[in-house]
Each structure stands twice: as C-alpha cells, then as structure tokens.
Amino acid sequence: MTIISTSEKPIYLDSSVSVSERVKDLVGRLTLEEKVGLMGHESKGVPRLNIPRYNYWSEALHGIARSGKATVFPQAIGMAATWNKNLIREVASAIGDEGRAKYHAALRRNGYTDQYQGLNMWSPNVNIFRDPRWGRGQETWGEDPFLTGEMAAEFVRGLQGDHPKYLKTAACAKHLAVHSGPEKDRHTFNAIVTKRELFDTYLPAFRKLVVEADVEAVMGAYNRILGEVCCASKLLLEDILRDQWGFKGHVVSDCLALADFHQSHKVTKDAAESAALALKHGCDLGCDHVFDEIPEAIARGLITEADVDRALERSLATRFKLGMFDPPEEVPYASITTDVVGCEAHRQLAYQTAAEAVVLLKNKNNILPIKPTTKKIFVTGPTATSVEVLLGNYYGFNNQMVTLLEGITGRVPEGMGMEYHSGAMLKHPREIKETWAPAMAQNSDLAIVCAGFSSFLEGEEGESLLSPQNGDRSSISLPASQANYIKELAIHGVKIVLVLTGGSPIALGEIEDMVDAVVFIWYPGMEGGRAVADVLFGDTSPSGKLPLTFPKSLDQLPAFDDYSMNRRTYRYSTEEPLYPFGFGLSYSRFEYTDLQIDKQSIKAGEVLPVKVTLRNQGNRRAAEVVQLYLSDLKASTIVPLHHLIGFEKVTLEAGESRDIRFSVTPDMLSFYNDDGKLTLEPGEFKLEIGGCSPGKRGQELGAPSPVIAFFEVK
C-alpha cells in the first residue's frame, strides 16, 4: 500500500477544493480495474490510495434496518397517515443520526463498512400505491402524488441534514418508475401508461424530491416502462431526470435489475451488453456484478472509458459530500456516537409517530375512548401479543418492543378487570374448536379484538407466507380464521373494538357492521402498544387520516397489472369506498366555516389566496388535518375528479378557532395534457376544504361538512 504523505497531499484529499475538482482528480488516478471495482454496491476500495472498501446498500425505510439495534418507527404508510410533515422530518433526522453513529462505529471497529453499515440510505420509496393488492405498498406514502411528495420530501431533508457542505446521510428516491406490482412479474413486466398518466400520477413525487428536496440518489425499478428497462431508460434517466429536472446525484440500479436485462427482459444478449446499456443511459452504480463486465464492453466497442468516468464521478461525488475523504474533525456528523441509537428521545418520537398514525374509522355510540367506569375489558386476537405486527418490512430491532397486550396492560387503570385469550390464529383455523373466548368476552364490557395482517402476509417478492413467490395479496379481506372468530364473538352479543394492523387496505365486508369501533394502526413500530393503548383510553385523541382509499372489495378495481389510472384511487374512481382517502375520526368535533377567496376570477398565472376558519367544537384538545382539494370543471382532457393541493395538521384546544391559509398557485391549477406537458387553461374551478376527500361517503361516516367555493381562471 502506498502511503500518501501530507506534503504530497493530492487534490482529492484537499477539503477546501470543490467536490467536482476532487472527484475528477481521484478518477484520474485510477486504473480501469480500480474504477470498475468502485462501481458496484460492494465497492472494493483502492488500497494504494488508502480508500477502504465500502458497501452502498443500507436501508432506512422507517428506522435503520438490518443492522442490529435501532429505533423502530412506524412503517412508512403509517408515517404517511400522520399527515404531519414536521414530525416526519424529525423522525428522519433521528434515523440519520443513528445511521451516522453506526457507520462511524463500524469504521472504528474494522476500518471499513459492510452491507447495512453505510451512509447511503436506500429510502424513501415514493412509488404510488395504486392497487391494494401490492405487498410493498406498505413501504410507500400512499396513493396520492401530492401527499407522497410533500411527506417524502421532509423525510429526505431529515435524512440528509441541513449542513451547507456535508450530507448527514444520502437519501435515495425509489423505484423510478411506474412500479407497484405484481411482485411475481416485476422482473419481466412492461408498464404501459400514457404520457399524461406518467406525469400526472407516477412522476410528481420523484420530481418533488429531485427538484425541491435535492435527494442525492435515485434508484431505478426492475420493470420496463413503454418498452425500455427502467434502469436504462432514455426517457426516464436522460430526458426527464437529467435534462428536465436537472438531477445532479447518482442513479443506482435495484438489486439484480441489471442482470434482468439479459436474463428476464431479453433486451440484451449478455452481461457486457447490459452493462453498456445501463452506463450509456445514465445508471451509475450497479447492485449486482454486471458492471464487472465493463472491460469486456469497452473491448467490444460498446462503451468507452469516458462513459465509465462519468458514472463513477457521480457516485464518488456522493461519498465526498458524506465526508468520507475528509478528516473526521471537519465533518460535523462524525461526532455522533452510538448513545443515540434507541435513545429515550428517539423512543418518544417513535411513540408520538405511532399515536398520530392511528386512524379511527368507526366509533359507534362513542364507545371509544374506553370510559373510566368500564368494569372489565377482554383483549383477544392473533396480533395482540405479536412482535411481528409492530415491524412492517425492512425493519430494525429493539429490545423494548411494546406489543398491543403489553401496552394495554400498562395503561389499564387499577380496579378495571382484564382478561386475555388469543382466540384465533393469524391465518390458520384453530386446532381447538371449542374455546372459552366468547364466554370471556360476554363477561366483559367490551372486547378489544387485535386482528389484521403482519408483514409476513404481505411484502416484497418472496416474503409472504400466504403467497411465498410474490408477496402480494390475492384477497384484501381478513383471513377466514380471523373473520370467523370476530363473527363468533358478534353472535354472542359482544361489544367489539376492532384494532387492525396492516400495511394496506382491508375490506371488512359484513364484519364492519358487526363491530362497534374500527381502529387502524398500520405496523406501528416499537412503541405501538403503548401509543395505541393511550388512544384507546383517551389520553390522546386519534388524528390519523387515511393516505389511501379502502375499497369495499376487489370488484371495484381494475386488473392488478393494469397500470392505467382509470377507476383507481380517489382521484379517478367513482365507486363508493368502504373508507375514503383522507378520512379519520376524532374524539372531538371540528367545524369548517368562512371559506374566503380574494377573487371570484383570476388571470392565468396569478396566485389565489385562500382562508378558512377551523373550530374545535368538542370539549377536549385534539388535532385535525385540514385538506384542500381542487377540481378542474372544464378541462380539455382527462383530469382528476378532484385532487389534493394542500394540507395542514392543526391542534386546537376545546372551543378554540383558527384561521388556516393556503395559496393556490398556477402549477396547482395546471394539468398534464396528453403529451405529458403541464398546461394551464382558462375555465371554472372548484375548491373544497374539509377533513376528508370530497364525496358523500366521508360525511356519512362522520367527517365534518366541508366548505366549497368556485372561481374562474381567465
């Protein structure tokens, strides 16, 4: 190994020089073999230049994953249900702190970092959750492009920090693009969408992260789009990502996606052709060994070493921004110690997030919160003692995971009786047919039935127990073992509070009528049990809102592999849902009044200020998510029936009122035409502000009445 003396310090080690100059200097010192060794996720390092090996693959979907102990926050779809941007930024900042601490600890131990120990966090997943069957929908921020972009942008900002020179960690927007199942077909699927649908639904969140949040990396998807493999798509990577959006970071392939080029998609003949195709169209880092064939691709004349240099400069630039080539004393995040991992402050943040993610979907006769006069409760169901349902997928671990039973036990007041029986299994029939559970439930004032899914019943390809090959769900109903048990309790006249875990919608069918309350808690993380218990007993009023539509059945949806948005999500479906997008009840009551807009008519290009008054009419402190929806009533092409253009989470004391202000910008009034171009047309528009997406279903379920205004753009 050649040791470089300080008197001969090269440009790439001079922290006062720009990143671009340092990167070019380093690349210019490398042999082709050394360059290739740095271009896979398992970067081999360059010993003669004192560059240690480094693994780019780390996960931070809802906490540092697969790297031992960490703070386990609610799954991403649960964080989306908080509709609280400031909170999400705090969560991501905490995750970034833990990632930094683990990275530097690994460096001190070994002098290098292995997989899941690095600073390149392959999160967030901003694919649109367009179909509830998709097992990986739990990783996303829901079905709405605007909500996804707003929430995930804060996640990126939290992960990357706000230092003017250094990144805390490097976030990665994935998977570009039009990627949301079926999992079993992801290596061969060709997503067919119109240009309008591409820009209207599938790309806005990616654009938000690139243009406004400065996300450092973008990951390509496995599938093809309009005939091009996503990880070598000229349309996606060159025309849109680089040319239109001005992306300056690096692009990484999904893992084994480059091998799919020749093995599954059959668009190339071998690995050398696949490596060349990826490099030519802008994939800079490979998560497999296909880039090992770069020398062969150069020898065949498929690419040049200049193509290699361009890609390597982009990925190495990220490492420079992370401070990997600078003295630790110059990098402010290098001083973060492992004391932060799972610390009390992060635990409390996990608790707050889990509590704010709880969505109250039904509350007949105000059975919740549980009254202090309640004499006895019965806790039952297959998820009550499950640690798995706290986790979701891509998870870390903690030695203080609070299950639902533990949380309720810790909160039940002295003098209130409590019984427990599992009652049913997650997906298998009971082996013992006769059970005391119904009698135990009958002898209680109410039964808290903990049911739903775990991440072993829905997830990524190969994760699901129900469908081991794909991870998706063929049914969105509760497994029969659980449904039959709930019916058994209902037949005995038990008052049922149904607490559901899951990462995606559950169609309840007749069960919805049999229970008195429905509480959806997602995969709530390490503090899930305590947070849910505090909501059930009324210490906290539920404030979560659905980030996606819960359909009544799959009959309301197109085929899973149909990527057209026709009849999908609240934006394009006319079907009456079980529970609508944006819906969630409170223990208090809110009133929307006095919607004011400055003008009934504006000129194209003008901003329209909007004000509404929100009042807490109840007798307790509570939070409400104020949601602003826009409808273009006279567009010349297909546009959403209505779409979210603003939201704000507001906490009010009992009886308190507050004016909430929004600005309707020209971009919000525009739509994507059939060529994928943003277009602003004159016409009539409708604004609706309330606590749920537009439609009578939300009000039937108890959402406050919205306020509506019309205006014209000339």
Which part of the chain is CATH 3.20.20.300? 11-57+120-325
To the nearest 10°, report the CA torsion of 455, 457, 459, 463. Answer: 100
Chain segment 549-572, per-residue pLDDT in tens: 999 999 999 999 999 999 999 999
Beta bridge partners of 285: 252
Residue that is written with structure tokens 């994953």 in the block: 65
Residue 279 has pLDDT above 60, yes or no: yes
Chain segment 188-231, per-residue pLDDT in tens: 999 999 999 999 999 999 999 999 999 999 999 999 999 999 99
Assign 434 a pLDDT band (cuts: 50, 70, 90). Answer: confident
φ/ψ (deg, to 5) at 649: -90, 125
State how far the Cα of 127 lies from the Cα of 176, in Å rounded to an integer.
Answer: 8
Between the alpha carbon of residue 577 and those of residues 450, 568, 573, the distances in Å are 23, 11, 9
Cis before 124 (ω within 30)? yes
Residues 165, 166, 168: CA angle, nearest 5 degrees: 150
3-state secondary structure of 121: strand
Please report the beta strands in 523-672, taking only residues with DSSP state E, as ranges in sequence order.
Answer: 590-597, 601-602, 608-616, 622-632, 643-652, 657-664, 671-672
Which part of the chain is CATH 3.40.50.1700? 344-556
Q: What is the mean pLDDT of residues 316-326?
A: 98
Q: What is the mean pLDDT of residues 130-147?
A: 98
State how far the Cα of 252 lies from the Cα of 290, in Å rounded to an integer.
Answer: 13
Chain segment 584-626, per-residue pLDDT in tens: 999 999 999 999 998 899 999 999 999 999 999 999 999 999 9
Neighbours of 234 (CB within 10 A): 12
φ/ψ (deg, to 5) at 439: -65, -40
Class of domain 11-57+120-325: alpha beta
3-state secondary structure of 328: helix
Q: What is the mean pLDDT of residues 396-412?
A: 98
In the DSSP assignment, the letter for residue 299 is H
Let me know: does 369 contact 587? Beta carbons within 8 Å: yes
Residue 5 has pLDDT above 60, yes or no: no
Residue 674 has pLDDT above 60, yes or no: yes
Beta bridge partners of 55: 42
User: What pLDDT does 3 receive?
Assistant: 40
State how far the Cα of 61 lies from the Cα of 127, in Å rounded to an integer.
Answer: 13
φ/ψ (deg, to 5) at 656: -80, 145
Q: What is the mean pLDDT of residues 150-159?
A: 98
Q: Collect all residues with Cβ–Cβ distance below 8 Å to 348 and sequence separation of at least 6.
A: none
254, 273, 406, 688: which is the annotated catalytic residue? Answer: 254
Chain segment 99-111, per-residue pLDDT in tens: 999 999 999 999 9
Between the alpha carbon of residue 211 and those of residues 168, 191, 306, 328, 663, the distances in Å are 19, 25, 27, 30, 20
Residue 493 has pLDDT above 90, yes or no: yes
Assign 431 a pLDDT band (cuts: 50, 70, 90). Answer: confident
Q: What percent of the chain has pLDDT over 90?
A: 96
User: What pLDDT does 468 receive?
Assistant: 67
User: For the chain, what's the residue count?
Assistant: 714
Assign 4 a pLDDT band (cuts: 50, 70, 90). Answer: very low
Which part of the chain is CATH 2.60.40.10? 590-713
Q: Is the pTM of this model over 0.85?
A: yes
Class of domain 344-556: alpha beta
CA-CA-CA-CA torsion sign (387, 390, 393, 395)? negative
Beta bridge partners of 218: 173, 251
Chain segment 51-73, per-residue pLDDT in tens: 999 999 999 999 999 999 999 99
Q: Is 606 a catalytic residue?
A: no
State how far the Cα of 524 lies from the Cα of 506, in Å rounded to an integer.
Answer: 16
3-state secondary structure of 387: coil
Q: What is the mean pLDDT of residues 352-365?
A: 98
Assign 6 a pLDDT band (cuts: 50, 70, 90). Answer: very low
Residue 688 has pLDDT above 90, yes or no: yes
State how far the Cα of 181 lies from the Cα of 560, in Å rounded to an integer.
Answer: 8
State how far the Cα of 96 lies from the Cα of 102, in Å rounded to an integer.
Answer: 10
- Average pLDDT over the chain, rounded to whole? 96
Residue 1 has pLDDT above 70, yes or no: no
Chain segment 304-319, per-residue pLDDT in tens: 999 999 999 999 999 9
Q: Collect all residues with Cβ–Cβ distance below 8 Å to 594 and sequence separation of at least 6.
A: 611, 612, 613, 707
Q: Is 254 a catalytic residue?
A: yes
Q: Collect all residues with Cβ–Cβ distance below 8 Å to 357 and sequence separation of at least 6.
A: 74, 78, 79, 81, 82, 521, 522, 524, 544
Two tokens at 363? Answer: 């509350």
Neighbours of 40 (CB within 10 A): 23
Q: What is the mean pLDDT of residues 706-714?
A: 97
Two tokens at 605? Answer: 């290009």
Let me know: does 200 contact 165? Beta carbons within 8 Å: no
458, 463, 472, 624: which is the annotated catalytic residue? Answer: 458
* CATH number given to 590-713: 2.60.40.10
